[in-house]
């Protein structure tokens, strides 16, 4: 082994150690049932001076949350780097049923950044991939992206997270399928039928492991840099909600079956990045929001207004309103179903 | 020697696409000193023109002489430089 090879081997080992560290810490936290979420209650926060509330809450979060966030960023980077993209894109832009499965299961794993999502969506459509799988992808990607899933599991517990993941995935497929059968969906599809994608012009280079690990970590770091400031700002808001929002209001309106409908109505227009939505959901849960309403709350992501506006430029209003309405109904239905199955109203 | 490098990103550009373009420019400058002419152009990943040429790809991506070599990540200037050299020798 010469010096250069030794240096690279050392680099690889230290990167693997870094990755293993976060995975091990996460497993330890799960096995030890160690809480990774803030433990402050309204009583703890209310006694503090007004400027101190967000600081205490954020410190509380940082103490527990760094493992979870670190793990989420590391794993997101790894997935983005190691999932074979050309293979996936090829199947997703076909019109076979497998396209739905790929769009639901695999696409969210690597689309952690919104700047890849909308372009991919329009790409799938222009390539003649069919509106159904493309919509499934558009709805499932933000709702079920890896980063959001990890944080949801840790913040709201695995029962709620699992129910949300399944409900969001299944409804994304159903909505995509229904829209592709509407007259306006079919008309839209026909416009792009001729554009069959050609993939002969792609010959990705193979890079050695150390370089791939490095770009995975770099991407994780990039995500952290983009997301953490917004997340911190979200925590400031959440800390005030936790401290001052009247629990009676939450208990009166966000419980029972009417609570499911109210929270589905609230979650859409109230545009919040996924991670903040989860933190805000936790604050509301602490204040007494029912589990069924929480599911509806979490499923509000796909029909937020900015998201629908940017898609409408590509597919037109009719399709956007159809899927928005369906997603709203799916949120209510999933919330109610969860309530009925678990008694969590 | 003339090499065509296409930086494929979203429009308006996101931070990652900008960095990719900057790195491509850095590589081009270095190679220009050796007499290798690199022509950099930008493509919108979501345009019909790009799709009909390359199919669906994830951004940012880099194509050299009409072949996509990198997609979905930001390559270092040195990686782009190596790719351009390879395209000349092969």
Dump pLDDT digits (tens) for A111-154. 665 556 777 888 888 777 788 888 898 888 877 888 888 888 88
Does B69 contact A205 at a Cβ distance shorter than 8 Å? yes
Domains and their CATH numbers in chain B: 2-78 (3.40.30.10)
pLDDT at A128: 74
**Mean pLDDT score of chain A, rounded to an integer?**
83
Distance from CA of B33 to the nearest CA of A (A): 25
Residue A304: exposed, middle, or buried by beta-carbon count in 10 A (0-12, 13-18, 19+)?
buried
The closest CB to that of A195, out of B51, B58, B70, belongs to B51
Q: With contacts defined as CB-CB under 8 Å, which chain A residues touch B51?
A: 123, 126-127, 195, 197
pLDDT category at A333 given cuts 50, 70, 90 is: very high
Cα gap A89→A322, rounded to integer Å: 26
A134 and B CB contact within 8 Å: no
Compute the residue count for chain B.
90
First-to-last alpha carbon distance for chain B, in angstroms, is: 13
pLDDT category at A162 given cuts 50, 70, 90 is: very high
pLDDT at A272: 66
* Beta-carbon contacts below 8 Å between A and B: 100
pLDDT at B22: 93
Q: Which residue of A has its CA nearest to B80?
A: A205
Does B71 contact A85 at a Cβ distance shorter than 8 Å? yes
Q: Which residues 6+ apart lie within 8 Å of A282 measured at CB?
A: A37, A38, A155, A156, A238
The closest CB to that of A115, out of B10, B53, B68, belongs to B10
pLDDT category at A15 given cuts 50, 70, 90 is: very high
Q: Residue B2: beta bridge partners? A: B37
**Each residue's pLDDT tens digit, A256-265:** 888 999 888 8
Phi-psi category of A316—alpha, beta or left, where left has phi over 0 and alpha has psi -120 to 50? left
Residue with the bigger pLDDT between B11 and A104: it is A104
- Give the mean model confidence (pLDDT) for residues A240-262: 88
A159 and B CB contact within 8 Å: no
B71 and A CB contact within 8 Å: yes
- At which residue do the structure tokens 């983005």 appear? A80
Q: Residue A101: beta bridge partners? A: none
Sequence spans of domains, chain A: 3-26+49-342
Q: With contacts defined as CB-CB under 8 Å, which chain A residues touch B49?
A: none
Distance from CA of A13 to the nearest CA of B (A): 21
Residue A21: exposed, middle, or buried by beta-carbon count in 10 A (0-12, 13-18, 19+)?
middle
B1 and A CB contact within 8 Å: no
pLDDT at A68 over 90: no
- Give the mean model confidence (pLDDT) for residues A199-228: 83
The closest CB to that of B58, out of A120, A197, A201, belongs to A120
B48 and A CB contact within 8 Å: yes
B16 and A CB contact within 8 Å: yes
Q: What's the ipTM?
A: 0.77
Distance from CA of A203 to the nearest CA of B (A): 5
Distance from CA of A131 to the nearest CA of B (A): 14
HSE-up of residue A205 (Cα within 13 Å, Cβ side): 21
Is the distance from CB of B80 to CB of B62 less than 8 angstroms? yes
Chain A from 196 to 215: CB within 8 A of any B CB: 197-199, 201-205, 207, 211, 215
Distance from CA of A40 to the nearest CA of B (A): 36
Optimal mutation site among A82, A103, A113, A115, interface B, most CBs of chain B within 10 A? A115
């Amino acid at each position: 082994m010469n010096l250069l090879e030794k240096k690279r081997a050392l680099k690889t080992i230290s990167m693997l150690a870094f990755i293993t560290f976060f995975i091990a810490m996460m497993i330890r936290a799960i096995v030890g049932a160690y809480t990774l979420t803030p433990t402050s209650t309204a009583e703890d926060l209310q006694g503090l001076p007004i400027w101190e509330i967000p600081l205490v809450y954020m410190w509380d979060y940082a103490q527990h949350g760094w493992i979870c966030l670190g793990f989420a960023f590391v794993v997101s980077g790894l997935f983005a780097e190691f999932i074979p993209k050309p293979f996936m894109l090829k199947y997703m832009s076909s019109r076979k049923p497998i396209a739905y499965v790929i769009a639901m299961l695999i696409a969210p794993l690597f689309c952690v950044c919104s700047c890849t999502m909308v372009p991919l969506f329009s790409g799938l459509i222009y390539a003649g991939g069919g509106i159904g799988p493309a919509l499934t992808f558009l709805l499932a990607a933000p709702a079920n992206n890896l980063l959001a899933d990890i944080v949801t599991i840790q913040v709201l517990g695995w029962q709620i997270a699992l129910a949300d993941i399944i409900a969001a995935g299944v409804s994304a497929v159903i909505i995509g399928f229904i829209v592709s059968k509407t007259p306006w969906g079919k008309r839209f599809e026909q416009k792009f039928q001729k554009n069959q994608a050609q993939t002969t012009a792609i010959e990705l280079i193979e890079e050695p492991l150390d370089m791939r690990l490095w770009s995975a970590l770099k991407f994780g770091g990039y995500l952290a840099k983009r997301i953490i400031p917004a997340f911190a700002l979200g925590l400031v808001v959440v800390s005030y909600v936790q401290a001052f929002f009247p629990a009676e209001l939450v208990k009166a309106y966000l419980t029972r079956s009417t609570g499911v409908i109210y929270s589905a109505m609230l979650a859409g227009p109230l545009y919040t990045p996924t991670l903040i939505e989860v933190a805000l959901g936790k604050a509301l849960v602490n204040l007494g929001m029912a589990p069924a309403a929480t599911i509806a709350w979490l499923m509000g992501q796909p029909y937020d207004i900015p998201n629908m506006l940017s898609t409408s430029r590509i597919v037109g209003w009719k399709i956007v309103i159809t899927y928005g309405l369906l997603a709203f109904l799916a949120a209510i239905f999933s919330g109610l179903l969860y309530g009925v199955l678990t008694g969590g109203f | 020697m003339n090499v065509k490098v296409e930086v494929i990103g979203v429009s308006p550009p996101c931070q990652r696409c900008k960095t990719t373009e900057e790195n491509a420019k850095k590589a081009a400058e270095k190679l220009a000193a050796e007499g290798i002419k690199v022509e950099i152009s930008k493509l919108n990943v979501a345009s019909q023109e790009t799709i009909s040429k390359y199919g669906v790809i994830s951004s940012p991506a880099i194509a050299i002489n009409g072949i996509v070599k990198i997609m979905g990540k930001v390559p270092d200037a040195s990686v782009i430089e190596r790719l351009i050299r390879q395209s000349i020798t092969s």
